Each structure stands twice: as C-alpha cells, then as structure tokens.
Copies of this chain bind each other. A is one copy, B any other.
Amino acid sequence: MRKLQIMIVLALIAFANSVMADALPSWNDGTTRTAIIDFVERVTKPGSTDFVPVDERIAVFDNDGNLWAEKPVYFQLLFAIDRVRELAPQHPEWKEKQPFKAVLDGDMEALVASGKKGVLELVMATHSGMTTVEFEQTVSDWITSARHPTLKRPYTELIYQPMLELLSYLRDNGFKTFIVSGGGIEFMRPWVQEIYGVPPEQVVGSSIKVEFEMRDDGPVLTRLPEIDFIDDKAGKPVGIHKFIGRRPLFASGNSDGDLQMLQWTTAGSGPRFGLIVHHTDADREWAYDRESHVGKLDKALDLAPANGWTVIDMRKDWHRVFGFEAQ
C-alpha cells in the first residue's frame, strides 16, 4: 500500500514537471532564465550523470535585496526605527548615544555611518527585553500595518515576483528552500511561511541570545541584549553549516555579504549553481552596486565570471519586478 502510494505520487510529480513549460513566467527569455532551467533539469533528471537525490537538493537565498527590496535601508532597520521611537521614553540615555541619537534625530546619514555592525547592534538592542512570544507578536503586528517610507506599500508587497517564482520552481523540483540572511532570524520567522512559502525552521539569520526562565505562570524565553551570531559574509557558510549541516546545491545572493556563501556552495563537488541579483533598474526598483551603503556588490561581481556564477540583470531579465505591476 505504501509503495503504491509513493509510486502514484512520483508519477504525478513527474507529470507536473513535464507540463511546467510555464516555469518562471516573470522572467524574460534569455541566458539567465535558460541557465537556471538547464541546471534544474540536469540535477533532477533520473539517470543523468549530474542527478542529485531529492534529499540533497538544498537551495539557499539571501533575503534583503535578493527576495525583497532593501532601499532606502534594510527594512528591519525601519522596523527598529519604529521601535526606538516607541521605546525612547523608557531610555532617556538614547538622546546622547549613537546610533540611537541618529534615529531620534532622523539623521539617516549618521545612522548609516555607524556601519552594518552598528546597525545590527541597534536592531538587537531594540529587540531585547521581552519574551520570544512577545517579540513575535510585535513583528507580526508591524509587518501587517507598516508601510514603506517612499513606496507607501506594505513591505510584503516589495517582494520580487521572479524570485517568488524561482522559489516555487525549485520546490516543485524537489528542492528544500532556505533563507540565509544577515537579518534577524526572529524578525523573519513570523512571516516567511505566508510570504515566501518557507517554513520558520528553514530560516538562518543573525540572532541575539535568549535565556530560559521559569516564571510563576510557566516557562519563558527572554531575549537578551547580546549578539549571539552574525550571519553575514564569512558567517554565512558557518550559519549554513550550523543550521542546515550540508552544503547547498544552489545559492542566491545580491551583495558582497553573500560572497562566501556563493564560494562555499559552488566549491562543492558535482553540479552547483551560484546566482547574483544585480540591481540595474532605477525605473522599476533601484540601480546600485559597488558604491551602495546597503547591498554593496563589488568583489562578488568581479569574481562571478571566473566562478561561473549567473548574474541577473534586473532590467533585462525580469519582465516584472513586483507582483503589483501590470502583467
């Protein structure tokens, strides 16, 4: 009975794949789309020398600037700014202390000058002092109500439609999709299932320490104002190893923060795929790379050709950027 069930499911999946001529509809025909589809067909075709068993089809995606936008600054920073403003009355010392002062003064330049680590510290500090359950609720409330400062849309609409299709396409082909982001793991987990179809346990990210505490009304996990792990740059292969425990088959990023993840992934034996989102579309999204203070793409762009990484030219390769655009 179990064997029959498995055979029917496999037959249905094979049939579904065969009619998937319309994979990646928001991608223009061209070398980028073709490279992705060729790779997936190569590793999923039974009997092919490049065939990879389903269990080993791990795909990792950076989040900021790769699955959703990251301008004018990382969206988690905009969340943190809202939190700083809300919590400021309880923290009079923030008026004189960077990077909090910059937030309260609305001085975005000073904030950016504090660097990614400073920004992460700000994020972590404003995200602590409550239980994990309370924080999850705070994030859930924010993600449904907040609006992007210039585009005036919910952040969950600022997801790249072609990347959503790529996530689905990979899953339809037996891949297990993970997010591997420099962003906070607990900032992403409350909404990734609904928005990306990625379950919370398939998110790797930066984290602060939490502590188990037995209170009178039961156990809680308290969030401490102390960084536990930064999942960026050389931290990304470490995070992948720690949380996933095997080398991905497919990695997608958009900045030098993803360089080591791309190197680690594509250095594996057998077929591997490295993908870079290059932001080249100032009309529909933003255009930036080597000089940008968020999502700086410099070294990884230089190293892409020698490593065989595929670079997405957003303007040329994507028929649509966001789901709300006319088809």
Contacts and interface: CB of A to CB of B under 8 A. Distances in A.
A8 interface: yes
Contacts of A242: 185, 207, 210, 228
Most buried by B among A219, A243, A246: A219
A2 interface: yes
Interface string A5-20: 1001100110110010
Interface string A206-239: 0100111010001101000000100000110110
Interface stretch (A26-34, A153-161, A197-205): A197-205
Nearest to A212: B234
A37 to B, nearest CB: 19
B55 A199 contact: yes
Contacts of A246: 189, 200-201
A76 interface: no
Interface in A138-192: 176, 185-186, 189
Contact of A12 (B9, B228, B263): B9
A129 to B, nearest CB: 16
Interface in A60-91: none
Interface string A222-266: 000000100000110110011111100000000000001001100
Number of copies of this chain that the complex holds: 2
A205 B260 CA distance: 25
Given A200-B245, A242-B210, A245-B200, A219 B263 contact: yes
A267 interface: yes
A177 to B, nearest CB: 12
A318 to B, nearest CB: 24
A243 B241 CA distance: 12
A189 B245 contact: yes
A160 to B, nearest CB: 22
Given A219-B260, A221-B264, A228-B242, 6 more contacts: A5-B16, A132-B241, A200-B245, A201-B202, A211-B234, A218-B263
Interface of A: 1-2, 5, 8-9, 12-13, 15-16, 19, 55, 58, 132, 176, 185-186, 189, 193, 199-203, 207, 210-212, 214, 218-219, 221, 228, 234-235, 237-238, 241-246, 260, 263-264, 267
5 contacts: A1-B16, A210-B242, A212-B260, A221-B237, A221-B241
Across the A-B interface, the 10 shortest Cβ-Cβ residue pairs = A212-B234, A200-B245, A218-B267, A5-B12, A189-B245, A201-B244, A212-B237, A219-B263, A219-B264, A219-B267
